[in-house]
């Protein structure tokens, strides 16, 4: 074969600038594309051998070699796969976007479908020009009597094709790295990029660094090390769940996510019809509620990494988890980085969501004690899922758990059943255990129960449940004085009206709070002098205004009315109910102090109120001397 020169068959001479700047968002993609092409070349050869379309040596050791030469500024990708003839180079390399993988699939689609061909578009090879000023291909076809060929191009529209010197079957692609790609001449960077995209490729990948000093022992002797592949050719998710142990799952989690906290549990996805999908989803253990924002779902296509957290495939609420999903049937676009708009993708997303719901429901039904042990860690995920996906909510609505004041876990139905004699269809809840401690003690002392809803997601979740559960309402434990906390009334109507009128005048003149409402009620406990309550409706309105206030709205636009309930069975309140010889200033101090004591059990005092509270404490103590 003589030296041949010609022009690449393209539709625009501006194709290379387009490839370099717009086809791929990240320059490191060339590593993925060239190794994927090498993997395809091996897979094609194996399939042809299986179909007796070609003959190869017995027990071949298929592999992909990456050679880094920092001095020569080259990176070489080599495989021992199918190779190419001169005509195939003209067809698949010179004619941009004529995919050899696509052509191969069309030719042999009825004969073999056991192994996946990764490439489909034919543009992956040209990603090399994003980082290379010149690319050469040395190749020898598997075909009997084939001759080697050498192809060379400097990133323009001109190429050279001539006889080559390769004497073994396969293809070797050498990139002469340009200024734009200098960072990839670093061994660490190249190694990390291979691990990122090709860590689960089906054929072993080896990295060799030219001129690298060999490792030596303490005496200076060279340590002979057996070459180790960078990748795992059969990742755990590709195995049958029955072949995987708990230790296997934990080890895979640690190595994949560099997270040495053990996951709570996991879901192994394994589906062949109506689409091919495998993967493992892990429920990680959370340290703080902010950890819920740090999930990572790695998406693969035929064991080639595509991207993290693709929302079209992974239901949004599951992006809070960690996991790996591999779906060869994903309809990727030409850059193999983004999904085409396809209803098929929605089916995949729905399947994943259903499998998670099935796993959770199964765990609840068969191992409830274990499920309860996980609940506080996984509840933000499950609640978020119910908020974002109605189908998911419908599947898991009966397994939502609520921790009671006694530390037990109950379902909503179980709580309502146990409380129906005292407060039918009303759920009392605690949002801050420390702040609402006084109310919790009052509930416990009088046989009442409430549930803990202390996470930031619980506020919207409560509203969601009320919209789903007919006639069920949620009320914070300090939203009102529960009827079961009230004692027997010792005052007649006239006495109570007079006492209340007197107290209203006294407290309002002391506190100077026009929006404060005063109430007088007998409580079963004589230890609590007063409590502050804010109706559930008013409190939710206040929370909403506070949220909008952060965006520029005035949270005081809609003021809500709080109620100070004075306990008519408390000795101090009894003294205030009647005219006494207590000094007027002292009365005002006592009123202010009772109010602040009630407020402390309702919400934190602001800095000014706390300063006055401390000063007033000292003033009252001085009166005891």
Mean pLDDT value of segment 221-239: 90
Please give the pLDDT value at position 199: 94
CA 523 – CA 169 distance, rounded (Å): 92
Please give the pLDDT value at position 449: 93
Please give the pLDDT value at position 551: 45
Strands of 388-435 (E only): list them: 401-404, 409-411, 426-430
Q: Are 207 and 97 in contact (CB under 8 A)?
A: no
CA max distance for the chain: 121
Please give the pLDDT value at position 545: 67
Q: What is the per-residue pLDDT across 17-50, written as a single tens digit (0 to 9) for each?
A: 555 555 556 788 899 989 999 999 999 999 999 8
H or E segment and range at residue 391: helix 390-396
Burial 239-251 (b: 16+ CB within 10 A, else e): beeeebeeeebee
CA 445 – CA 270 distance, rounded (Å): 52
Residue 496, judged by CB atoms within 10 A of its CB (0-12, 13-18, 19+), counts as: middle
Mean pLDDT value of segment 274-280: 88
Instruction: Tell me what the pLDDT averaged over the chain comes to.
Output: 84
The domains of the chain, with CATH numbers, are 4-209 (3.30.565.10), 236-366 (3.30.230.80), 400-483 (3.40.50.11260), 487-534+560-622 (1.20.120.790)
Q: Which single residue is written with the structure tokens 């729905």? A: 350
The two beta strands, 426-430 and 473-476, are parallel
**pTM confidence score:** 0.76
Please give the pLDDT value at position 173: 96
Q: How far apart are the first and last CA of the chain?
A: 114
Q: What is the per-residue pLDDT across 141-195, written as a single tens digit (0 to 9) for each?
A: 999 989 999 999 987 778 899 999 999 999 999 999 999 899 999 999 999 999 9
Q: Which backbone phi and psi does 519 adopt, to 5 degrees?
A: -130, 155
pLDDT over 90 for what percent of the chain?
41
How many Cα atoms are found within 13 Å in the side-chain-facing hemisphere of 78? 17
């Amino acid at each position: 074969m003589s030296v041949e020169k010609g022009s690449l068959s393209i539709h625009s001479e501006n194709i290379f600038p387009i490839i370099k700047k717009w086809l791929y968002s990240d320059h490191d993609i060339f590593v993925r594309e060239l190794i994927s092409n090498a993997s395809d070349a091996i897979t094609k050869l194996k399939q042809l051998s299986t179909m007796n379309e070609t003959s190869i040596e017995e027990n071949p050791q298929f592999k992909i070699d990456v050679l880094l030469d920092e001095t020569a500024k080259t990176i070489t990708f080599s495989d021992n796969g199918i190779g190419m003839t001169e005509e195939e180079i003209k067809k698949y390399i010179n004619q941009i976007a004529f995919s050899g993988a696509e052509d191969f699939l069309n030719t042999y689609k009825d004969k073999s479908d056991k192994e996946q061909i990764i490439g489909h578009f034919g543009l992956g090879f040209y990603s090399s020009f994003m980082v290379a000023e010149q690319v050469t291909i040395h190749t020898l076809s598997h075909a009997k009597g084939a001759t080697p060929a050498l192809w060379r191009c400097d990133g323009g529209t001109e190429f050279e094709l001539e006889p080559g010197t390769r004497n073994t079957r396969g293809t070797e692609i050498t990139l002469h790295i340009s200024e734009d790609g200098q960072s990839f001449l670093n061994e660490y960077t190249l190694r990390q990029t291979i691990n990122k995209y090709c860590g689960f490729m089906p054929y072993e990948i080896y990295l060799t660094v030219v001129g690298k000093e060999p490792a030596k022992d303490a005496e200076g002797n060279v340590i002979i090390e057996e070459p180790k592949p960078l990748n795992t050719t059969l990742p755990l998710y590709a195995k049958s769940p029955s072949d995987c142990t708990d230790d296997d799952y934990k080890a895979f989690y640690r190595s994949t996510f560099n997270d040495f906290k053990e996951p709570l549990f996991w879901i192994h996805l394994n589906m062949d019809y109506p689409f091919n999908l495998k993967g493992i989803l892990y429920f990680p253990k959370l340290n703080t509620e902010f950890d819920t924002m740090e999930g990572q779902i790695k998406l693969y296509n035929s064991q080639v990494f595509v991207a993290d957290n693709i929302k079209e495939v992974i239901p949004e609420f599951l992006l809070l988890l960690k996991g790996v999903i591999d779906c060869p049937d994903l309809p990727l676009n030409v850059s193999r980085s983004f999904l085409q708009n396809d209803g098929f993708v929605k089916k995949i997303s729905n399947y994943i969501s259903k499998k998670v719901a099935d796993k959770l429901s199964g765990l609840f039904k068969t191992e409830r004690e274990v499920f309860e042990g996980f609940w506080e860690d996984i509840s933000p995920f499950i609640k978020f899922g119910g908020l974002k996906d109605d189908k998911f909510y419908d599947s898991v609505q009966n397994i939502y758990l609520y921790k009671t004041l006694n530390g037990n876990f109950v379902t909503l139905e179980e709580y309502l059943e146990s409380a129906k004699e005292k407060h039918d269809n009303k759920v009392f809840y605690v949002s801050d255990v420390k702040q609402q401690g006084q109310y919790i003690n009052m509930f416990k002392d009088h046989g009442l129960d409430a549930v803990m809803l202390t996470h930031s997601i619980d506020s919207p979740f409560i509203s969601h449940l009320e919209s789903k559960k007919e006639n069920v309402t949620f009320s914070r434990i300090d939203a009102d004085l529960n009827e079961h906390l009230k004692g027997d009334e010792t005052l007649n109507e006239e006495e109570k009206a007079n006492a209340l009128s007197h107290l209203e005048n006294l407290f309002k003149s002391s506190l100077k709070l026009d929006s404060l409402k005063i109430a007088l009620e007998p409580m079963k406990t004589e230890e609590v002098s007063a409590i502050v309550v804010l109706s559930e409706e008013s409190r939710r309105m206040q929370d909403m205004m506070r949220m909008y206030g952060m965006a520029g709205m005035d949270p005081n636009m809609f003021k809500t009315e709080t109620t100070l309930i004075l306990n008519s069975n408390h000795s101090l309140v009894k003294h205030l109910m009647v005219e006494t010889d207590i000094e007027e200033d002292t009365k005002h101090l006592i009123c202010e102090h009772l109010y602040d004591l009630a407020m402390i059990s309702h919400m934190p005092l602001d800095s000014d109120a706390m300063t006055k509270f401390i000063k007033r404490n000292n003033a009252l103590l001085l009166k005891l001397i």
